[in-house]
Structure 1
């Protein structure tokens, strides 16, 4: 098969070769008439631009790497879809990789992305070591951490206001009259888990309450076992704050179907994220809503701005979350 070149497209369309290049370069200027002629000629000839060749010429691959720790949590497929759509609208192509938070996994994936010479990287709940941060900086590749923060690093991050969110949950449960309270926290190795727990415990401490806490590891089975352990304890809680909806669904299933407990009559449950499943009648979960659209918008803006101007400082962005009250809680008391 003979490979069609941009020069052939230019001759067919009756324009210059540079005009063809502009038509197929996102953000480049070309008149509507030129675009119509070039695309018509390209379609007739079966021409597709060589993105790798263009990257070698311009020094820009127009590729963004998206790295996510896991996809079983409904929050992350939604986030990846929105991030991909937003970046594609700005003329970027997407490479998606999964990498657990185990030692070495993120390093291997990030090295692959560096080899692809991506223009930027977004990590979703994936930690960045000092070494990885320095290697990306040395390669001139900006990184934005989505739904995960990292203290002491000159790296941009976008999260919901997790400490404030944890405080809001505690204040809500107290307003409902709860005194014996448990917390199945997110993984202690993540900033989101630590921050939500910190805000939650701060407010309870102000009221002389020490919650029972078990690390749910952002894992369904671990969270389910934690719920059973709490409710089998000598003083079972009458309210449990679960560190994300993914775990909260497992907690609800365990309480209702394995332990025969009534929610919220026997124990109230609050989650965090407000994924679509939370609104389904089967769960009807009270939860903190992470402002996903605003988080995605801020992430893309932070990344593109650093690509356009590498001298810009890192941004640490936190976006407030509302509490969405549904059927797994009662109250507040009046």
Structure 2
């Protein structure tokens, strides 16, 4: 049995000596993208495997002044959409030879407390998913020359960030308005997420503008806080109103699933005959046969790719990236006619 108390780390010099190459050749072999002859790489890897060598990422960071760590701050890890987004970001970061460091906030406003702590880990940059940042935090990162990229929301005027990326929420919501109108719905309603988020505002804007083009107005509007319980409460208020809607668009899928459950179990409504329901995000639970939810799909893999690219661009050039809005796709299922 190995005596862990007497464990000794193998050095790059020992690998170089066994492989008959320079120490810098060993370093290049373990540096993503570095140029090295294939025969030299083979000799180094053979020696490293024989000795049990693993490169020291901390020591490499001291030499390059880069830790190789990319922070991810997620405000609602229980939301299936954000779980998928964090997974896609981690895969993208690892594919570029870096390591993700994930911090979970309990709510969107809690990111302010986490971001200063992330700086203590010497992260090269931070990806923030749908959280509101204060001017104090963005200035702190600017002073540390550590870039922030926002995902699934737009940067506000006072947020000095390296870039922001989201789906084209306005166009995506307009697709739902078109679908409701084209299938004969005349009493549409909307359930917003969080009032202070750009995603919810943009989805409301796109939906209302789309309805207007068909000569339709909202008969009801409520707020569901982007979660299941909030969606349930909003559904009860809307469906219990004197003018009951015949179609409800929710700013995310989690609220839409709550609307479906309340409509069927508490009001005895048939979906989609009595009520059409649509969400936004294309989260996995909505595809289950029990729900078969009509929704709007965001290209999560591309969003992750572009976001990490924005960080790398800032690290290489110090330049901000222009805001990016990615096209959405309507996913039509059984909850609409």
TM-score past 0.5 threshold: yes
RMSD: 1.5
> C-alpha displacement at 1:315, in angstroms?
2.1
> 1:151-196 CA deviation, whole Å, 9 max, x = no partner?
2133211100011222222122112221111111111121101110
State the alpha-carbon separation in 2 of the partners of residues 279 and 90 from structure 1. Answer: 32
Q: Does 1:295 align with 2:303?
A: yes
Q: Kindly indicate whether the alpha-carbon contact (under 8 Å) linking 1:201 and 1:211 is maintained by their aligned counterparts in 2.
A: no
> C-alpha displacement at 1:133, in angstroms?
1.3
Aligned positions of 1:4-15 closer than 5 A: 4-15=10-21
Aligned positions of 1:186-201 closer than 5 A: 186-201=193-208
Aligned with residue 93 of structure 1, among 94, 99, 110: 99
> C-alpha displacement at 1:205, in angstroms?
4.1
Q: Secondary structure at the match of 2:320?
A: coil
Give 5+ residue unaligned stretches, structure 2.
Answer: 1-6
> 1:173-223 CA deviation, whole Å, 9 max, x = no partner?
112221111111111121101110111122334525134111111011010
Aligned with residue 62 of structure 1, among 68, 77, 83: 68
Which residue does 1:235 correspond to in 2?
243
Which residue does 1:222 correspond to in 2?
230
Q: Secondary structure at the match of 1:184?
A: strand
> C-alpha displacement at 1:314, in angstroms?
3.3
After the TM superposition, which of the residue ranges 73-82 and 90-99 deviates more from structure 2?
73-82
> C-alpha displacement at 1:277, in angstroms?
2.5
State the alpha-carbon separation in 2 of the partners of residues 41 and 126 from structure 1. Answer: 47
Give 5+ residue unaligned stretches, structure 1.
Answer: none
The TM-score normalised by the length of structure 1 is: 0.94
Which residue does 1:261 correspond to in 2?
269
The TM-score normalised by the length of structure 2 is: 0.93
Q: Kindly indicate whether the alpha-carbon contact (under 8 Å) linking 1:100 and 1:126 is maintained by their aligned counterparts in 2.
A: no
After the TM superposition, which of the residue ranges 66-75 and 256-265 deviates more from structure 2?
256-265
Aligned with residue 209 of structure 1, among 171, 194, 217: 217
Q: Secondary structure at the match of 2:335?
A: coil
Q: Does 1:176 align with 2:186?
A: no
After the TM superposition, which of the residue ranges 85-94 and 273-282 deviates more from structure 2?
273-282
Q: Does 1:275 align with 2:283?
A: yes
Q: Secondary structure at the match of 1:64?
A: strand
> C-alpha displacement at 1:4, in angstroms?
1.4
- The count of aligned residue pairs is 328
Q: Kindly indicate whether the alpha-carbon contact (under 8 Å) linking 2:186 and 2:216 is maintained by their aligned counterparts in 1.
A: no
Q: Kindly indicate whether the alpha-carbon contact (under 8 Å) linking 2:76 and 2:108 is maintained by their aligned counterparts in 1.
A: no
Aligned positions of 1:24-43 closer than 5 A: 24-43=30-49
- Runs of 4+ residues deviating >4 angstroms: none
Aligned with residue 316 of structure 2, among 290, 293, 308: 308
Q: Kindly indicate whether the alpha-carbon contact (under 8 Å) linking 1:169 and 1:200 is maintained by their aligned counterparts in 2.
A: yes
Q: Does 1:106 align with 2:111?
A: yes
Aligned positions of 1:33-182 closer than 5 A: 33-101=39-107, 103=109, 105-152=110-157, 153-155=159-161, 156-182=163-189
State the alpha-carbon separation in 1 of the partners of residues 192 and 224 from structure 2. Answer: 5
Q: Kindly indicate whether the alpha-carbon contact (under 8 Å) linking 1:302 and 1:315 is maintained by their aligned counterparts in 2.
A: no
Q: Kindly indicate whether the alpha-carbon contact (under 8 Å) linking 2:165 and 2:303 is maintained by their aligned counterparts in 1.
A: yes
